[in-house]
Structure 1
């Protein structure tokens, strides 16, 4: 389902001339092309040249991508809107001395300063992007124009939203853009897993490709809006794009909730929830024109108070989970400090958190907010701060320097480094993932225990899930499933976890 392997970019020397422009240097490359900085010879005006190539692809890939190239050229020539990147020229290169360039299609476009993805990556996680409403209004306006003229973008994501001078916001990368044939169109079975709607996975792929509808863009806008308003957080949990896609399918099947970030304002939460309706028919009630109108109204309206930090949980139905789902690593602000005591102070709202650790427990105060934040990464009711604390006490006694060299287990959560790397998330937002860092280790424990919980439910094991989770963490999901319960060799460890859990949930 993902795009083809990315070929190396074409080697174009600085000063190479393409029609009325000269190439300056490479900006970036993707699955079927590369983008180069350029200047207009007459006046030095900046531009970007996108080279569309198919020379290094297999015959099957080449046929699909040649068709996509024709579609992109066609749409680029017809696009005319302030929120769509403007194409100045379409040139077919003729250079017999450079066989690698001869016949390549070049699109000369407006040059952006950066992409929305760049802006998200540069900002602090969990913080809305500056002028988020204006950015989303531009995206929605461009989408409304495309839909009104019968087009589907089909690859809307932050990397394909460009930001130029003068507050310009442009939709770009029209490689998958297609024109509707009635209510739908067809594209090759490729796309960005983080932004395709749940029904994408069940659509049949025929000789003409996979069915795509304009509601796919509405879904993608919902994901993008959530990322813009939360500093990059995806609305579905998972440590990888494939895991997040599985989480979206689980939500659409009704076996997992839609849990939007609790920092969203009420009006934005409602709109994003409508964009992320679980099926095409439900999303069809919100067309791009109405979406654009509502986004403009939200951007123009007065500042609104944020809701009490409480997760919004919406269910789509009652089907069974289709696959294992991991949890998204959310980076939340650290707890406040008690000036008198000189140590972290438990948040006043902690008592409202389901399964919160009691204030008079033996859980170190310095770890309580970290444990609470980690538990919020999971939508399963069994994965609570109390359960994580009970497991940490049994694993290491809350010792960040604990170690079992014989089994290569280290740190507060007793991670084996190789296993940690497979699940690792950045728990403290410092850009590193270290199994010896308590925030990283505990956040990753939450991710893994969330997956174990869902894995066992999927396998029909629903009795005493905290015990099964503790056993799976100490052994493996396979050992628990094959046993049909807690393996005998880890029963003493599980009993210790359950005793701790009882003490923390009194």
Structure 2
């Protein structure tokens, strides 16, 4: 699924002339080549030059990339829309004195100030981007134009959406392909965070992997969620591969889709339709209708949801209002008891499924953190009580616990390398630290949620809390291969289950 190995950028000196433009410096490089800042000789107008190279690839890679280059050049020459980056010239370099440049294809394009990915990275997580509606309206309009003319972008993601002044441009047409009837074919490469679930089950033949316009609709749903939540992905996981697995679990009906609870209802509904679990369901929303609805949402008066509460969308099902209400958590204004000055448990915690009992030995200061972490997962087994039971067995709730022999540390006994692969910022301070209880516990919730989904996908559905505890202490592979709890961790699992019984009496 990853793109070919990225070759080093071409060494082009400042002032190097390409047709009517001179190169000024490198902007960035990727699998298809490199992009350089340039300016027009006649008037100094800024431009970007994308150099497409194949000289460092294997013969098999070269054939695929040359075909993609031809497709990108063809689309770039035909594209004509305010929300598609313009290509001013397509030039084949002829420079016998520079064999590395001789024969390279150069696309001279509009130069952007930054990408949507840059804008997301610069803002605080969880906060909608400034002028989010306008940005998404531009993306949807460009997508509608492409689809109307029979093209699939096939690589829509924030890094491929460019911004310049008031302009919003779709860019990077390296995977863009023209439909052959209802679908087209591209190499099995792309962004794990933005490909639809069916991508993983499509067979790759001699012509490549099947792609449809509904893949762009799915990608738009992910991008819209990121734009409206400051970069948050709609599927849980600390890595792109983990998030892709969560998306597949949702698509096959073994996990729900849980959109961020800050989304306004109209946006939530539209994103949910974009993220319909299969191609056929997603086909009901074409890009023209998507663009119309995004424009209407952008033009309409802003609406704020009066209560923030988790909403759960199940594949093929409606929102379960009763479950949403049951999960609603009302916090006291200060979070502390004014008289004693000690942390106070939420008044309505009894309404949360699997809530930790008020008279348990779980430290009061951790209860809200554990409850909030459990809300990151909609699998019924992953409850505050289960997380508390696991934390007690792992560390006895000691934030400074450590097992140096196995490199496990902190309240959730994370190995730093494993933590980095799943890390979640649990306290919103912008850092992800395995020794921080909020970060460690939030990451535990995300990982246990993934374990729950993995075991269900594998047909293991008996005593899932025990399997989750075993998988956390060993691995999902060890549990699946054993078909249950591996013998070496049975005493630990028994301890977790005893704690869980005490917390669910």
- TM-score by length of structure 2 reads 0.90
**Helix, strand or coil for the counterpart of 1:173?**
coil
Q: Distance in 1 between matches of 2:149 and 2:77?
A: 14
1:37-82 CA distance string (max 9 Å, x none): 1111222211111111111111111111111111111111111111
In structure 1, C-alpha distance between the alignment counterparts of 2:330 and 2:439, rounded to whole Å? 10
Q: Secondary structure at the match of 2:502?
A: helix
Partner Cα separation in structure 2 for residue 28 and residue 231 of structure 1: 24
Contact 2:156 2:216 in 1 (8 A): yes
Say if 2:394 and 2:413, in contact at 8 Å, map to a contact too: yes
Give how far 1:276 is off: 1.0
> Contact 2:424–2:443 at 8 Å: present in 1 too?
yes
- Bigger shift: 193-202 or 404-413? 404-413
* Aligned-pair CA distance for 1:97: 0.8
CA–CA distance in structure 2, aligned partners of residues 335 and 419 of structure 1 = 35
How many angstroms apart in 2 are the aligned matches of 1:355 and 1:56?
56
Change (3 A) 1:15 1:299: same
Alignment of 1:201-280 (within 5 A): 201-280=200-279
Partner Cα distance (2:325, 2:486) in 1: 23
Q: Does 2:386 align with 1:387?
A: yes
Residues 18-40 of structure 1, C-alpha deviations (whole Å, 9 max, x = no match): 11211111111111111111111
Counterpart for residue 134 of structure 1: 134
| 1:217-263 Cα distance to aligned partner (Å, 9 max, x none) | 11111111111111111112222222222222222222221221121
1:235/1:259 contact within 8 Å kept? yes
What secondary structure does 2:26 align onto?
strand
* Gap regions ≥5 residues in structure 1: none
Say if 2:39 and 2:47, in contact at 8 Å, map to a contact too: yes
Q: CA deviation at 1:361?
A: 3.6
Once structures 1 and 2 are overlaid, which stretch shifts more, 49-58 or 447-456? Answer: 447-456
Q: Could you say what secondary structure the match of 1:24 adopts?
A: strand
In the alignment, the residues of structure 2 paired with residue 237 and residue 301 of structure 1 have an alpha-carbon distance, to the nearest angstrom, of 31
- How far residue 268 of structure 1 moved from its aligned partner, in angstroms, is 0.7
Give, in whole Å, the separation in 2 of the partners of 1:357 and 1:280.
41
Q: Does the CA contact (< 8 Å) of 2:160 and 2:172 recur in 1?
A: yes
Identify which range, 351-360 or 391-400, moves more after superposition.
351-360
Residues 338-383 of structure 1: CA deviation (Å, up to 9, x unaligned)? 6766565545564443222234443333322322222223232111
Kept in 2, the 8 Å contact 1:327–1:450? The answer is no
Contact 1:256 1:315 in 2 (8 A): yes
Structure 1 residues 104 and 474: alpha-carbon distance in aligned structure 2, compared to 1, 3 A threshold? closer
Distance (whole Å) between structure 1 residues aligned to residue 9 and residue 111 of structure 2:
18
CA 1:140–1:484: 2 relative to 1, 3 Å: closer
**Contact map agreement 2:136 2:294 (CA 8 A) in 1:** yes
- Quote the Cα distance in structure 1 between the aligned partners of 2:15 and 2:254: 57
Gaps of 5+ in 2: none
* SS of the residue 1:64 aligns to: helix
Give the conservation status (yes or no) of the 8 Å contact 2:310–2:328: no
Distance change >3 Å, CA 180–CA 406, structure 1 → 2? closer
Shift of 1:161: 0.3
Q: Once structures 1 and 2 are overlaid, which stretch shifts more, 179-188 or 168-177?
A: 179-188
Distance 1:327 1:124, change over 3 A: farther
The alpha carbon displacement at 1:439 in A equals 2.0
C-alpha distance after superposition, 1:442-464 (max 9, x if no partner): 12222332233233334443333
Contact kept in structure 2, 1:75 and 1:174, CA below 8 Å: yes
- The DSSP-based 3-state class of the residue aligned with 2:339 is coil
d(CA) in 1 for partners of 2:483 and 2:210?
41
2:154–2:211 CA contact under 8 A, matched in 1: yes
Q: Are the counterparts in 2 of residues 246 and 325 from structure 1 also a CA contact under 8 Å?
A: no
Is the 8 Å Cα contact of residues 256 and 378 (structure 2) preserved in structure 1?
yes
8 A contact 1:427–1:444 mirrored in 2 = yes
**Contact in 1 for aligned 2:225/2:233 (Cα 8 Å):** yes
1:198 and 1:278 in contact (8 A); partners too:
yes
Is the contact between residue 189 and residue 209 of structure 1 (CA under 8 Å) also seen in structure 2?
Answer: yes
Cα gap change, 1:307 to 1:464, in 2 (>3 Å):
farther
1:321 CA displacement: 22
Q: What residue number does 2:487 align with?
A: 488
Q: CA RMSD in A?
A: 4.4
Which stretch shows the higher mean deviation, 81-90 or 299-308? 299-308
Instruction: Give SS of 1:427's match.
Output: coil
The secondary structure found in structure 2 opposite 1:170 is strand
TM-score (norm 1): 0.90
- Tell me if structure 2 keeps the 8 A contact 1:263–1:307: no
